[in-house]
Structures are given as C-alpha cells and as structure tokens.
Chain A
Amino acid sequence: MFDTRENIWAAFWMIGAAILIFALIPLLQTLPPRGRYLLIAFVTFIAGLFFAAEFFLPVDEKTGKNFLTDPFQRLQGSLQVITALSLGLGTYGLIRLHLRNAVQRRAQWGYSIVLLVSFVTMAFFSVWNTLAEKGLLGVQRTPLLERAFTLLFDYTLVQLDATMFSLIAFYIFSAAYRAFRIRSVEASILMFTAMIVMIGIVPLGKFISDSIGLPIMMTDEMRTNPFALETILYSLRLPEVANWILNVLNAPVQRAIEFGVGIGALAMAIRLWLSLERGIT
C-alpha cells in the first residue's frame, strides 16, 4: 500500500489532518452553548451557500465553468464520503444493539446472534470482494471468495430481498380491498382507474380487446382522422386506454404533485439553510 511516494504523502496528509481535526475537539468544547449553536448554524449556512452559489453564479462561456465548479465536484464526492460514514454510524448502532441483546441474554437473543454472524460473514466477504475488484492492498480474487460471495449475495441476500418485496403483493390486496370499497366519488374514480390500468398493461387487456373485435392496428389514415369510427374503436382498446390514462391523465397529476413537493422542499430548504428549524441547540 505504501510503496510509492504518492502513497506516503497521502498517508502523511491523512494522519496530519486527523490529528488536527481531533485536536480541535478540546478547543470546541470550550465554546458556550450559544457559541456552539452559532458554529453549527454557520457551517450549515456556508455549506448551503456554497452549493447554491455554484449553480447560480455565471459561468465562463468557453469552459462552461465558474470558479466554484471544480471544488463543487470534489465536495460532492466528499458529501458521498460523509454519507458513507453515516451509513457506518447506522451499522454501528445496529451492531451495538444486537451485541447488547446477545451479551445480556435479553429476550430472543438467539436471533441477535444470527444477525451478528450474518453481518460479520457478509461484511468480511463484501469488503474482500470490493478490495479484489479494485485491486486494492494487493488483494486477489480466489475460488473461496467467488463461491462464498455468490452463495451469500446471489443465492441468499438477493433471494431474501426479492421475496421480502414480493410479500407486498399479498398485503397490497388487502389495501386494495379497503381502497376499492366504493364509498365516495373519489374511491370510485380510484378503483375504476386502477382496474383499467391493471388490466390494460397485462396481456389480459389485449386479449379482451381482441375478443370483442376492436381494431388491432393504428393506421396513418386513422391517425389523421381522430373522429372516425375505426379510430375511436381503436382508442377503446384496453392497452390504449391504460396508456392514455398513464401518459395523458396521470402525467399532469404527477407533475402537479411534483411541483407541490418541489415548492415545499424549497421552503423547507430555506428554513434549514438559515437554521430556522427548531432542534439545533
């Protein structure tokens, strides 16, 4: 790992930065509560300002960049690094909880052991696999890694994941039963639309449309004359109706929802950026 000059310098910088950052903590600890609040609000504000400014500042016509573009790309990568570290934080919380369960032999501690063993085994092979893929630390791919990772990932995790999500298919039917009970105009519209879409996007829709003799193809002549009987009959095919609902009726509704969400997110972003949300103390 440390066989080149670049690696040695990189390691030097990392160790130096770590010492400096952790040496700051006793200094930060001397801040009064008000100072801590201001520091957090300041960091929040500067981070928001940087990411907003990069977008809104004019760019050079030749390069298509402004002076913040390059650091912006680096900092976006850094955000991913910090987000990855926060994932480690979540994992740490999970492992801590189940370790306590196992050590203190709380109720159903056996399941915690299963979770811990699964976690350690998969973490080992996942890290090994990633290192081997990137060729890091001189790690090589071996038959043991191939077999163990295939077994754990392809034949266990992927299968469990797909099955877990397919379970929703069963529960969605009970949800559908509650949603489809016709109690109001809104529920009726919801039911009718969902039924048309569900039938229309599977081969059953095509089968029903073919069975009742609706035209199979849209010709150029039909396209130019939307009020001709043939065109109207073609448009009544269930797959066409389902497509029309999805593209013409559903698309503006989704866009309106997105606008609502976007404006809400913008308002929330301003409040967070200016530390107006309660909770930062």
Chain B
Amino acid sequence: MDWLLAFLPLNFERTSIWIGAICTLAIYSILYRENPFYRLFEHMFVGLAAGYALGPNLVDVIYRFWWEPIRQDGIWWLSFVVPFGMYLYFIYNEKYGWVSRIVIGALIGASAGLAFQAFSSRYLPQLQGALSKVLWYPPNSTGEIYISTILNNWIFVVILLAVLTYFTFSFEHRGAVKRTATLGRWLLMIGLGAIFGNTVMARMALLIGRVYYLLDSWLMVRIGGG
C-alpha cells in the first residue's frame, strides 16, 4: 500500500516523473509499429524543441551579441546587423525573394573564410604532429621513450599514409599504389569498425539510461549499488 501511494502521481514530483515515463513509453511504442500515440508525442517533441530554441538561441544570442554591444560599448554599426539579417525573411516572397540571397551569400562567404582558418589552424598542426612522431630511438635516449611507443608511431604513420593513398583519386591506382590503397581500405575498415563499435555502445548507454529511469525513478525498483 505504501509503495502504491508513493508510486501514484499524487504530488508535483511524481506527476513529473509520470509524464517523463509516459513520454518514454510513447516513443518506444514505435518499436511495435506506427501508432497514433507515438505520432502525438513525436509532434509534441518537435513543437517543444522548436519552442525551446527560441529562448536561448534567439533571445539570448540577440541580447548578448547585438543589444548589449550597442547599448554598453556604443558599437553603433552593429545596429545594422539585425535589419540586414531580416532580409532572410523575404525568402517566402516571390518578388523580393532574391534579397534574402544577399544574407545567405554573406553567411556562405564568412563560412568559406572561416574554412580557410580552420584548415590552417586545425589540419596543418595535425599534419605536422602526425609527421613529427618519434620513429627512431634518439642517440641520447634517456629511456623515457619505450620501444612500444616507437612501434605504435610506425603503425600510426603507415596507416595514415595507406589510408591517404586510398583517398587519392587524382590518378589511377596501379601496382604498388594499388596494393597500398587496398591495405588502406582494409585499415579504413578497422577505423570504421571501431567507430561503429563505439557508436553502438554509446547508444546502448542511452538505452540503459532510459530503462534505468523507468525502473528506478518511475517504478521505484531500486537497482545497482547506489
């Protein structure tokens, strides 16, 4: 009887947990088949997600990056940003729709400029890091570099070059290049297998989280050592 009283949604906290459990069960009902219960909560999810985004993404961003700099720092030219961004909303108008492309062009141009930055600041140091790995025992070795590290570094470089060879499409793969590219493809499969395994386990962790919520929070079946 005590368990039942504690289980039923008789206060705000339990009602909230019940709502969470109903949401969880409604989404999982798709595993049986498409049904109105699932579709109802699916639409609710889309509506809630779109509604929530307005607070932090629209109000907060506009306040922090537009209103505050104009008001506090007096950066007056920023006042043109939002009206300029509003050109985007002409996209639904047949006559003035092209005006929105000016803003889209600015966004694309800025993204392209940032891509140059990203390549220089992200990929070039990575390339340098990959090609400056210790491959031999230094003559004045202090013993801090283990032979296993050297072996692993060799494996790293060989795999990197083999996979890059596989990704080279500028010329036909023949002879030694073809064999290297084939090795690269196999090694790529190892990488993809590792990514797949990791992804599966990450999703399993999410599933375990939901099952734990249903059992522990909703049904109050205490599990685990906590």
Which residues from chain A sit less than 8 Å from chain B, CB to CB? 6-7, 9-10, 13-14, 16-18, 20-22, 25, 28-29, 36, 39-41, 43-56, 74-75, 77-89, 91-92, 94-96, 108, 111-112, 114-124, 126-131, 134, 136, 147, 150-157, 159-170, 172, 176, 179, 185-187, 189-198, 201-202, 223-224, 226, 245-246, 248-260, 262-263, 265-266, 268-270, 272-273, 275, 280
Q: Is B134 an interface residue (CB 8 A)?
A: no
Minimum C-beta distance from B26 to chain A (A) = 8
Q: Are B69 and A151 in contact (CB under 8 A)?
A: no
Expressed in whole angstroms, the Cα–Cα distance for A154 and B49 within the complex equals: 12
Q: Is B136 an interface residue (CB 8 A)?
A: no
CB-nearest residue of chain A to B59: A130
Number of A-B contacts (CB under 8 A): 419
Q: Are B85 and A156 in contact (CB under 8 A)?
A: no
Residue from B51, B80, B209 whose CB has the most chain A CB atoms within 10 Å: B51
Q: Is B35 an interface residue (CB 8 A)?
A: no
Expressed in whole angstroms, the Cα–Cα distance for A20 and B189 within the complex equals: 57
A-B contact pairs, 16 of them (CB 8 A): A13-B76, A20-B80, A49-B113, A51-B110, A52-B116, A81-B61, A84-B61, A95-B50, A111-B39, A115-B47, A123-B51, A168-B206, A186-B189, A194-B193, A252-B130, A257-B167
Expressed in whole angstroms, the Cα–Cα distance for A83 and B203 within the complex equals: 30
From A16, A41, A115, A245, B43 is in contact (CB under 8 Å) with: A115
* A-facing residues in B27-45 (Cβ within 8 Å): 27-28, 30-31, 39-41, 43-45
From A43, A198, A224, A266, B102 is in contact (CB under 8 Å) with: A43
Q: Is B173 an interface residue (CB 8 A)?
A: no
Q: Which residues of B contact A122 (CB under 8 A)?
A: 47-48, 50-52
Q: Which residues of B contact A114 (CB under 8 A)?
A: 40, 43-44, 47
Expressed in whole angstroms, the Cα–Cα distance for A79 and B81 within the complex equals: 9
Q: Are B187 and A253 in contact (CB under 8 A)?
A: yes
CB-nearest residue of chain A to B54: A123
